[in-house]
Amino acid sequence: MKVLKFGGTSVGSVENLNKVKEILISDTEDKIVVCSAMSGVTDHLVKLVENIKFKDIEAITRNLHKLESKHSDVIDDLIKEQEIRNELKNGLSTLITEMFEISSQTYSEVVNSKIITYGETILTYIFSGFLKSIGVSNIVLHAKEFMFVDSVENPNIKKVSKNLHKVLDNNTQSSLYITQGFVCRNKEGQISHLKRGGSDYTSTIIAAAIQASEVQIWTDIDGLHNNDPRYVDDTQPISHLTYNEAAELAYFGAKILHPQTISPVVGMDIPVLLKNTFDPEASGTIISNKTYKKGLKAISAKDGITAIKIKSNRMLMAHGYLRRIFEVFDSFHTSIDMITTSEIAISLTIDNTSNLDKIVNEIENYAEVTVEQDHSIICIVGESVINDKNSYKLFEILNYIPVRMVSYGGSNNNISILVDTKDKIPTLRFLNEKLFQVPHEVVV
Ligand code: ASP
Ligand code: MG
């Protein structure tokens, strides 16, 4: 069994839904298809949650009507037979009524999760109906019935596996299953979600749970590129990546993958293919446990980074100092990304600033603290990249751009630098030219 995931753009219009249909019918193997909401829908639902917070009934009604008419138009354009159209529209109305009921409740985390995951529920419902209307038999599996992840960071694959197998055993009339990405249940069994962009993660959790033969993640670009195509011209898709490389790139900003996507399949020998819905023949990127080529592979950037410098003369020769600092971050559930130290100072970065004031207050009791916001981590990734003879070229950046921090050797597969976000694009372009444009032989 394969797992195929289609993102918001792939399911974002009638034309594209037809492309997805073509992809599905061109491959007869058994599959579980994971769908995102149509593009823009989850953003719309996030706004609806704001209306719920403020109990703004008028805005709630307006926004739910917009949601209904958007999907109703899709049904009209997608389906020929009047009867099936009406049937699907009735079902859509029922879902919208459920949403009205939830929207009248007092705001809570669960209300938020229930609402923002409806985009997936609506889309899978319509898409399944469409496929049936053209004779493609399929079954919708409700992710709420098996995606018991316990914690987003550490999903309980065994539990998902047990529940999913049960659901599959009860639904044997077809071997094309359609399910919702993003939605899950937490440890308490309440509706929750896998964070924005989490449908990718749904697909690899499912793949791990059923020991799938492969995962295909279908998006609107032909694989993971060696630099950010939004800012840099002439980027190239990368044909092969290892799990480690892909995980580092996803974590450090490659928008194409949710940061945790790779973790469920690591060690399971389940390749993850990144494919382009608009160019299905393009080979895309294969992420697996095989290393095809060592050395530099790609550059990515992660924004929204805060640099914190902690300076104290008392640090001189004092042991236990770092532990005290780390404990402060730990007590406020804030993880540290980059870190560099000198004898009297330590610089580190965080991306979650929700407890920043408290952290700074605490550390100011015994050290001088400077906070600098709006930084970006630029990450250079590849198996053994630190041994790539050409990686020195990256340091030529020092001639042109003020670099705030460097992390080299923390892992063999990653070199990171921290720059002011206003210098991000010139840095990406410079590195692209130095590291990828000038032909060089990779010597590791
Ligand atoms: N629909 C959700 C989002 O927009 C999940 C996803 O697309 O992966 O974040
Ligand atoms: Mg995505």
Q: Which ligand is nearest to the CA of 37?
A: 1
- Please tell me the distance from the alpha carbon of residue 136 to that of residue 75, in angstroms, as a whole number: 17
Whole-number Cα distances in Å, 355 to 331, 334, 352, 361, 366: 10, 8, 8, 10, 18
Q: What pLDDT does residue 437 have?
A: 81
Q: What pLDDT does residue 307 have?
A: 98
Confidence of residue 438 (pLDDT cuts 50, 70, 90): low
Q: What length is written for the chain?
A: 444
Q: What is the pTM of this model?
A: 0.89
- Please tell me the distance from the alpha carbon of residue 227 to that of residue 292, in angstroms, as a whole number: 19
Q: Which ligand is nearest to the CA of 36?
A: 1
Angle at CA 383, nearest 5°, toward 378 and 385?
55
User: With contact defined as beta carbons under 8 Å apart, do 377 and 301 qualify?
Assistant: yes
pLDDT, mean of residues 182-210: 97
Ligand 1 atom closest to Cα of residue 202: 8
Q: What pLDDT does residue 444 have?
A: 47
Ligand 1 atom closest to Cα of residue 36: 7
Q: What pLDDT does residue 443 have?
A: 47
CA 420 – ligand 2 centroid, Å = 26
Ligand 1 atom closest to Cα of residue 194: 5
Asked if residue 313 has pLDDT above 90, the reply is no
CB distance 259 to ligand 1 below 6 Å: no
Pocket test for ligand 1, best of 34, 122, 199, 256 (most atoms within 8 A of CB): 199
CB distance 117 to ligand 1 below 6 Å: no
CA 344 – ligand 2 centroid, Å = 42
Angle at CA 168, nearest 5°, toward 243 and 148?
60
Q: What pLDDT does residue 440 have?
A: 52
CA torsion sign for 290, 295, 300, 305 is positive
Report the nearest-CA residue for atom 5 of ligand 1: 197
CA 22 – ligand 1 centroid, Å = 23
CB distance 264 to ligand 1 below 6 Å: no
Confidence of residue 319 (pLDDT cuts 50, 70, 90): confident
- Please tell me the distance from the alpha carbon of residue 267 to that of residue 243, in angstroms, as a whole number: 9
Confidence of residue 439 (pLDDT cuts 50, 70, 90): low
Confidence of residue 232 (pLDDT cuts 50, 70, 90): very high
Whole-number Cα distances in Å, 213 to 139, 174, 218: 20, 18, 16
- Please tell me the distance from the alpha carbon of residue 395 to that of residue 22, in angstroms, as a whole number: 47
What is the phi/psi pair of residue 248, to 5°?
-65, -45
CB distance 271 to ligand 1 below 6 Å: no
Those residues with Cβ within 8 angstroms of residue 190's Cβ, 6 or more apart along the chain or in another chain: 110, 113
CB distance 295 to ligand 1 below 6 Å: no
CA 9 – ligand 1 centroid, Å = 10
How large a percentage of the chain has pLDDT more than 70? 98
Residue 272: beta bridge partners? 215, 287
pLDDT, mean of residues 272-282: 96
User: With contact defined as beta carbons under 8 Å apart, do 349 and 375 qualify?
Assistant: yes
pLDDT, mean of residues 71-89: 96
How large a percentage of the chain has pLDDT more than 90? 85
